[in-house]
Structure 1
Amino acid sequence: MGRRSEDTKALILAAARERFAADGYDRATIRAIAADAGIDPSMVMRYFGNKERLFAAAAEFDLELPDLMSAPPEDAGAMLVGHFLDRWERDEALLILLRTAVTNDAVAERMRSIFSGQLVPVAAKAGDPATAPARAALAASQILGMALCRYVLALPPLVAMTRQELIEWLGPVIQRYVAPTP
């Protein structure tokens, strides 16, 4: 693809991110995204094929997980909880995925792919590689549950907690899953 194609693709992705954030997956349409980007809907289809592929591309991101080996092993849980709190609060794409994954199978698969593809290797480095998938899934259940309750459902006790309080409560749980002591 030439420079012009890459610019068009970037324009579509930017419009898609904003539209998915504003309307959610189900209500966002290819026509609306194309209108936001100032292009013909056929161009969106040309580059992405369908709405699911466009969403997958728009929601592509790196969890930017920290290197747990660079910190004391006993700090791994707290480090991950703090990291995820930062990610949820600065990246709308992750929140869009969470909201949409509960009602859309394709989006749920995207979320599974992101978390397993990026969290399992971290767990494998920090503990027994044979149990890493299970430990990563348990850690993800806690992180995703906290995010759902704090950022989507807005449960008052979780919303009222400070970042440090959340780290103090969840850190030991995540520690147990990600970097268990022998």
Structure 2
Amino acid sequence: MTDSTGDAPARRSAETTRAAILRSARDRFAAHGYERTTIRAVAADAQIDPSMVMRYFGSKEQLFDAALTVDLHLPDLSAVPPAELPELMVRHFLHRWEHAPADDALLMLLRSGVTNEKAAARLHEVFARQVAPALVAAVGPQAAARAGGVVAAQLLGVAVTRYLLRLPGVVALEPEQLVAALAPAIAATLGITPKSG
């Protein structure tokens, strides 16, 4: 096979091929979720044979795992006064979601987690490993253990309704309105007095 100049096309390195597969997979998982994404479609987007996807990743599940490295980029909360924590967390997550690229791994997990148990488990793992320790550092282990799951539900609820389901009443809110509505709820969940505004 030759390109338009008549020369044989340059062969991709293994690293380049792997990166192209992951990029295509992230786009597909972000747009269609786990269930509707196929190895054949990922391969077509990456302009390679489907067998190459299997060669590099073994299965659709392994490809999904590789495509979903999620870093929430939470700041160190240990020095944050408890009264300021709810607002800081809401602002952090809103900023992350408002400026997320189309192939954002966290949004991919949210979209896929609704129908796929593996994606839901991965989402739980991300919050358990990143949000829970941040809450422990800020409010102590007892409050974090008691309320961490509900805080995650509150934050993820905004993401699902605003960015995936796009409920008009939630989409219409300005970020500051969401902060004003959600921060007191998170403060109540954690049992702390929120910052007075």
TM-score, normalised to structure 1, is 0.88
Which of these residues, 126, 140, 144, is aligned with residue 138 of structure 2?
126
Cα deviation 1:29-84 (Å, max 9, x = unaligned): 11111121122222211221211121122121201112223443311110100111
Shift of residue 5, structure 1, vs aligned partner: 2.5
Change in 2 beyond 3 A, CA 1:134/1:30:
farther
Q: Which residue number in structure 2 is paired with residue 160 of structure 1? A: 172
1:138–1:177 CA contact under 8 A, matched in 2: yes
Q: Which residue number in structure 2 is paired with residue 109 of structure 1? A: 121
Which of these residues, 6, 22, 45, is aligned with residue 13 of structure 1?
22
1:34–1:40 CA contact under 8 A, matched in 2: yes
Shift of residue 165, structure 1, vs aligned partner: 0.9
Q: Which residue number in structure 2 is paired with residue 69 of structure 1? A: 78
1:16–1:33 CA contact under 8 A, matched in 2: yes
Which of these residues, 14, 25, 40, is aligned with residue 31 of structure 1?
40
1:59–1:97 CA contact under 8 A, matched in 2: yes
1:81–1:171 CA contact under 8 A, matched in 2: yes
Say which structure is richer in helix: 1
Name the % identity: 50
Q: Which residue number in structure 2 is paired with residue 43 of structure 1? A: 52
Shift of residue 138, structure 1, vs aligned partner: 1.0
Q: What is the aligned-residue RMSD (CA, Å)?
A: 2.0
The residue type equivalent to 1:90 in the other structure is: H
Shift of residue 178, structure 1, vs aligned partner: 4.9
Which of these residues, 84, 93, 108, is aligned with residue 105 of structure 2?
93
Q: How many residues align?
A: 179
Which of these residues, 47, 60, 68, is aligned with residue 59 of structure 1?
68
Larger Rg: 2
1:76–1:179 CA contact under 8 A, matched in 2: no
Cα deviation 1:91-121 (Å, max 9, x = unaligned): 3332221121111111111111111111110
Shift of residue 179, structure 1, vs aligned partner: 7.4
The unaligned stretches of length 5 or more in structure 2 are 1-11
2:77–2:135 CA contact under 8 A, matched in 1: no
2:80–2:138 CA contact under 8 A, matched in 1: no
The unaligned stretches of length 5 or more in structure 1 are none
Shift of residue 172, structure 1, vs aligned partner: 1.9
Change in 2 beyond 3 A, CA 1:112/1:52:
same
Change in 2 beyond 3 A, CA 1:71/1:124:
closer
Aligned partners of 2:162 and 2:133: how far apart in 1?
27
Shift of residue 130, structure 1, vs aligned partner: 3.7
